[in-house]
Chains A and B, each alone.
Chain A
Amino acid sequence: WEVSSGESLNDCPGTSSDQAGKSSACQGCPNQNICASGAAKAPDPAIEEIRQKLTSVKHKILVLSGKGGVGKSTFSAHLSHALASDDSKEIALLDVDICGPSIPKIMGLEGEQVHQSGSGWSPVYVEDNLAVMSIGFLLSSPDDAVIWRGPKKNGMIKQFLRDVDWGEVDYLIVDTPPGTSDEHLSIVQYLSGAGIDGAVIITTPQEVSLQDVRKEIRFCKKVKIPVIGVIENMSGFVCPKCKNTSQIFPPTTGGAQRMCEELNLPLLGRVPLDPRIGRSCDEGRSFLTEVPDSPAAVAYQNIVQSNVYCLQNHCFFIFQMYVKIYISF
Chain B
Amino acid sequence: ISINGLAQVKHVVLVLSGKGGVGKSTITTELALALVHAGKKVGILDVDLCGPSIPRMLSVGKPEVHQCDAGWVPVYADPQQKLAIMSIGFLLEDSDEAVIWRGPKKTALIGQFVSDVAWGELDILLVDTPPGTSDEHLAVLENLRKHRVDGAVLVTTPQAVSTGDVRREITFCKKTAVKILGIVENMSGFVCPHCSECSNVFSKGGGEELAKLTGSVFLGSVPLDPLLTATLEEGRDFLQAFPESSTYTAISQIVNTVLSSLDA
Which residues of chain A have a CB within 8 Å of any CB of chain B? 1, 3-4, 8-9, 11-12, 28-31, 66-70, 73, 98-100, 102, 105-106, 142-151, 153, 177-182, 184-185, 204, 206-208, 211-212, 214-216, 218-219, 222, 237, 239-242, 244, 246-250, 252-253, 273, 275, 278-279, 281-282
Chain B residues near A29 (CB, 8 Å)? 104-105, 108
Chain B residues near A105 (CB, 8 Å)? 160-161, 164
Chain B residues near A143 (CB, 8 Å)? 167-168, 170-171
- In the assembled complex, 12 residue pairs joining A and B whose CB atoms fall closer than 8 Å, in A order, are A30-B104, A147-B134, A147-B176, A148-B133, A149-B138, A150-B134, A180-B100, A181-B100, A208-B53, A208-B56, A242-B194, A242-B195
Considering the complex of A and B, which 4 residue pairs feature the smallest CB-CB distances, nearest first? A69-B21, A68-B20, A150-B103, A99-B132
Residue of A nearest to B25 (CB): A208
CB of B175 within 8 A of chain A? Answer: yes
Residue of B nearest to A216 (CB): B98
Known: A180-B98, A181-B100. A66 touches B199 (CB 8 A): no
Task: Kindly identify which residue among B18, B130, B232 contacts A178, using a CB–CB cutoff of 8 Å.
Answer: B130
B171 touches A244 (CB 8 A): no
Q: Mark B219-246, 1 if CB is under 8 A from A, else 0.
A: 0000010100110111000000000000
Q: Say which one of B6-14, B32-40, B62-70, B254-262 lies at the interface with A.
A: B62-70
A102 touches B164 (CB 8 A): yes
Chain B residues near A218 (CB, 8 Å)? 96-98
Interchain CA distance A49-B187 in the complex, whole Å: 45
Q: Mark B157-180, 1 if CB is under 8 A from A, else 0.
A: 101110011011111100110000
A181 touches B50 (CB 8 A): yes
Residue of A nearest to B107 (CB): A30
A4 touches B67 (CB 8 A): yes
A152 to chain B, nearest CB (A): 9
Interchain CA distance A211-B25 in the complex, whole Å: 14
Chain A residues near B107 (CB, 8 Å)? 30, 149
Chain B residues near A102 (CB, 8 Å)? 161, 164-165
Known: A73-B161, A153-B134. A242 touches B197 (CB 8 A): yes
B135 touches A248 (CB 8 A): no
A37 to chain B, nearest CB (A): 16
Which residues of chain B have a CB within 8 Å of any CB of chain A? 18-22, 25, 50-51, 53, 56-57, 64-67, 88, 91-109, 112, 130-135, 137-138, 157, 159-161, 164-165, 167-172, 175-176, 190, 192-195, 197, 199-203, 224, 226, 229-230, 232-234
Chain A residues near B21 (CB, 8 Å)? 67-70, 178, 204
A252 touches B133 (CB 8 A): no
Interchain CA distance A140-B253 in the complex, whole Å: 37
Task: Kindly identify which residue among B57, B95, B133 contacts A99, using a CB–CB cutoff of 8 Å.
Answer: B133
Chain A residues near B202 (CB, 8 Å)? 275, 278
Known: A69-B19, A100-B131. A278 touches B98 (CB 8 A): no
B160 touches A282 (CB 8 A): yes
B134 touches A249 (CB 8 A): no
Chain A residues near B197 (CB, 8 Å)? 239-242
Main secondary structure of the interface of A (DSSP, over half): loop
Residue among B56, B95, B135 having the largest count of chain A Cβ atoms under 10 Å: B135
A215 touches B50 (CB 8 A): yes
B203 touches A144 (CB 8 A): no
A12 touches B105 (CB 8 A): yes
Chain A residues near B88 (CB, 8 Å)? 9
B169 touches A145 (CB 8 A): yes
A10 to chain B, nearest CB (A): 10
Known: A4-B66, A30-B104. A145 touches B133 (CB 8 A): yes
Interchain CA distance A216-B167 in the complex, whole Å: 28
A142 to chain B, nearest CB (A): 6
Interchain CA distance A289-B164 in the complex, whole Å: 24
Known: A28-B108, A148-B134. A237 touches B100 (CB 8 A): no
Chain B residues near A253 (CB, 8 Å)? 233
Known: A1-B91, A28-B109, A181-B102. A275 touches B201 (CB 8 A): yes
Interchain CA distance A239-B67 in the complex, whole Å: 51
Chain B residues near A222 (CB, 8 Å)? 98, 100
Chain A residues near B100 (CB, 8 Å)? 11-12, 180-181, 184-185, 219, 222
Interchain CA distance A237-B120 in the complex, whole Å: 44
Known: A31-B104, A222-B100. A250 touches B194 (CB 8 A): no
B207 to chain A, nearest CB (A): 14
B104 touches A150 (CB 8 A): yes
